[in-house]
Chains A and B, each alone.
Chain A
């Protein structure tokens, strides 16, 4: 297991800057997700780490060995970095065993036991070894691709949106198999994804990429509870953003006076709540009231879209047990503290900008 350190990496394609200075550290044996919207440069960063492309500036360091930097570029085949592409990328002319054994030294390629071991590692039946890739399901292809990447015992494994082409039922199962196999192999792993649920549930740490820059690197809970700005907040989960006036350690909002997650200077601010912090109840005096606009019912839980008297829309996440109906008035209570962002902070306008784009 090796750590990965990326320092000040930039990359442009023609006149289009894709990465504008990325710093990233993944500890040895860690599992980090690179999360970002489409086109934010996350796949480019992965390709630079793998050695398929060279950065314009900056360095890449794997396990204390400089693999890309000024005047130095170690060829991809000498980096010992495993790569699992989107949709698996299995060699169509080779059977499963041929794919898995591709990166092994010549002597070991015919070793059926080693192939069976690797297939077992990713939770596949060794009987699949003689199948052709096109005879496998999407999830099986992904697992074979992972087994192939793990076969030469790489110090680092890169996964490029490996689950995005799977349907929902397969995705959960394949994710679990991949996490288990990576833990068992002990390799350091970097997963690229645009699915925030995937990033939060799988990784030890999540790095949020935005417009070619890393904006936050944190463990999933910290990222969800204390996002660096409102844009990151909305990207990693549903948010309820309220205008507030901070006085004496409390935020006064349309949903009443809220406790603060962290100290904030008095004055205008915006506060962040998560929909699951809102509790609804029949209307009672002294508690803020909202009207239910619609209910999205998911079975295990539901999203209730609310309209506050001020006209502001927000939603609450409730268990799917006892739900209000559209048109009903309900009172809204807030559980837990709100995260404040003082007005005039440099990140505030960025939110509107991104929305408009």
Chain B
């Protein structure tokens, strides 16, 4: 190019230099790093325990305990239930999301809330309602039905979010290139839903693997129920440990498979600004059948359990309602949930902070190990903590701290995800500006960082709180003697077939979970991590 003439300004505004971002580096945050490492270590504790104790059995011991017909039977039961549930949830979740987001179906907002609402009913309560109304559902088909109705929102929510995020310009472009409506769905929309669908399906599968209460109630044996029975029978035989080992391997296999399938492709919109809302498909003559389908889904997943609870509440209130016990149990549950929320959120802070402020391999590794530890089923976490407490710290056995540790391991990802999002909202720039105004490090923490993080920390704590309120499995194994929560009180009453006495506890749990559901239906992009 000739140097003869050149316009004045070489670069327009908004083109920042390549080397602008400052990396604080891990060296500057040794304390945070240490804390995050401790949290990751705690989260990996159950996994490590299972690995070490299984290895301790030796190859022949493992072979003897694993290669037997009982394990094969459990594997088959678990696999066909997980597979069937994933397929059904995918069909129901994508179908419902498409109707609500992309068609002219009437009452979209109401349907959206109603389709998320089943999350407020814990799976074991749902299963209680079904079996108490229809004692014949204790079959594979029954288990498949109940679990699917409890878990399809895990697919529905991310897919709705993905439909919302689809850039209609892509669809218009595809139509302009001559594609039919079906071809647009298959070649343009479906590939973009892939990440959401895979993520949702993984959640469903992990939940099925970890599900204990619902399946125990339906007398459908899987690994979790077998581990529990084994634990009740022999306390802690190598039998329970090896079963737990197989279950953990299944979880790891799913995580890896999802990672492989998801691939590295990005599906973010390339343009700037907010996506224009797309045109909706006119249903026309299909409006009534669509409404009927949605009504059937909501009816089965929401109306049946609520009707079941209502029936037993009315029947039981005449004979079995002990308001005093209900109040005490609710108090205990709320206290435990509040303590767990505080502890878990505090533990999430260092990890969430590092993940944003010191991006890099170490921070990613710490964050991922925490998620990995939490993907282990509650029954395995509880089993590991029981055994470790008895062996290493007998004075901690059956105490609240161990129970809180289990809750923290189980629900850390919920808190980390929200804390992380909050840290992303408060760039280091604010810290720099405050420093230039003479503010010291503790002063900055108090006046800038914490106020900016508060909403995110609060949301994370609320999610943990609500998860603990309905937690059953770990509480059953770890709660101190004499401590009953809503879930365990409900469990012991319904196990004794005192359905009328059980119902009030379930109703309180559903009422307490309702706010979380409203939160999720408003902001469908967050909080679905377990």
Contacts and interface: CB of A to CB of B under 8 A. Distances in A.
A290 to B, nearest CB: 12
A115 interface: no
Interface size class of B (residues with CB under 8 A): 35 or more
Interface string B435-461: 111111000000110011000000000
A142 interface: no
A351 B4 contact: no
Contacts of A78: 438
Contact of B438 (A42, A85, A152): A152
Interface stretch (A261-269, A279-287, A310-318): A310-318
B430 A89 contact: yes
A103 B437 contact: yes
Contacts of B18: 38-39
B4 A241 contact: yes
A82 interface: yes
A355 B8 contact: no
Contacts, number: 129
Contacts of A151: 437
A80 B9 contact: no
A85 B433 contact: yes
Interface stretch (A117-125, A192-200, A320-328, A329-337): A192-200
A201 B7 CA distance: 17
B3 to A, nearest CB: 5
B9 A197 contact: yes
Given A52-B432, A89-B433, A103-B438, A40 B17 contact: yes
A315 B435 contact: no
B10 A37 contact: yes
B17 A81 contact: no
B260 interface: no
B6 A238 contact: yes
A230 to B, nearest CB: 7
A51 B437 CA distance: 12
A15 to B, nearest CB: 11
A40 B19 CA distance: 9
B13 A313 contact: no
Nearest to A13: B19
Contacts of A315: 5
Nearest to A151: B437
Q: Which of A77, A78, A85 has the most CB of B within 10 A?
A: A77
B274 interface: no
Given A44-B19, A164-B14, A230-B3, A238 B8 contact: yes
Given A77-B439, A102-B437, A312 B451 contact: no
A20 interface: no
Interface residues of A, number: 62
Contacts of B6: 234, 238-239
B496 interface: no
Interface in B17-49: 17-20, 22-23
Given A38-B15, A38-B17, A47-B22, A103 B7 contact: no
Given A39-B19, A76-B432, A197-B9, A148 B437 contact: yes
Contacts of A53: 22
A60 to B, nearest CB: 14
B434 interface: yes
Q: Which of A91, A149, A161, A196 has the most CB of B within 10 A?
A: A91
Interface string A27-66: 0000000000111111110010011110000000000000
B435 A38 contact: no
Contacts of B430: 89, 91
A41 B20 CA distance: 8
A225 B440 CA distance: 46
B16 interface: yes
A68 interface: no
Interface in B45-92: none
B15 A165 contact: no
A93 B437 CA distance: 17
A52 B22 contact: yes
A158 B430 CA distance: 15
B460 to A, nearest CB: 18
Interface string B300-340: 00000000000000000000000000000000000000000
A240 B437 CA distance: 46
B11 A85 contact: no
Interface in A294-316: 305, 312-315
A237 interface: yes
A169 interface: no
A355 B11 contact: no
Nearest to A308: B4
B270 interface: no
Contacts of B16: 38, 43
Interface string A62-96: 00000000000001111111110100010111000
Q: Which of B4, B9, B16, B439 has the most CB of A within 10 A?
A: B4
A317 to B, nearest CB: 11
A102 B13 CA distance: 29
Given A39-B19, A76-B432, A164-B14, A312 B437 contact: no
A49 to B, nearest CB: 10
Nearest to A275: B5
Contacts of A312: 2, 4
Contact of A313 (B2, B17, B452): B2
Contacts of B292: none
B1 interface: yes
B1 to A, nearest CB: 5
A276 to B, nearest CB: 12
A209 to B, nearest CB: 11
Contacts of B434: 91, 102
A91 B448 contact: yes
Contact of A77 (B1, B435, B448): B435
Interface string B469-503: 00000000000000000000000000000000000
Interface string B109-122: 00000000000000
A75 B435 contact: yes
A320 B8 CA distance: 19
Given A151-B437, A236-B8, A238-B6, 12 more contacts: A13-B19, A39-B19, A47-B432, A76-B436, A85-B433, A89-B430, A93-B452, A103-B438, A239-B5, A275-B5, A315-B5, A355-B1
Interface of B: 1-11, 13-20, 22-23, 429-430, 432-440, 447-448, 451-452
11 contacts: A38-B16, A50-B432, A53-B22, A76-B436, A77-B436, A89-B430, A149-B436, A234-B3, A235-B10, A241-B3, A275-B5
**Which 4 pairs from chain A and chain B are nearest by CB?**
A103-B437, A39-B17, A164-B13, A83-B436
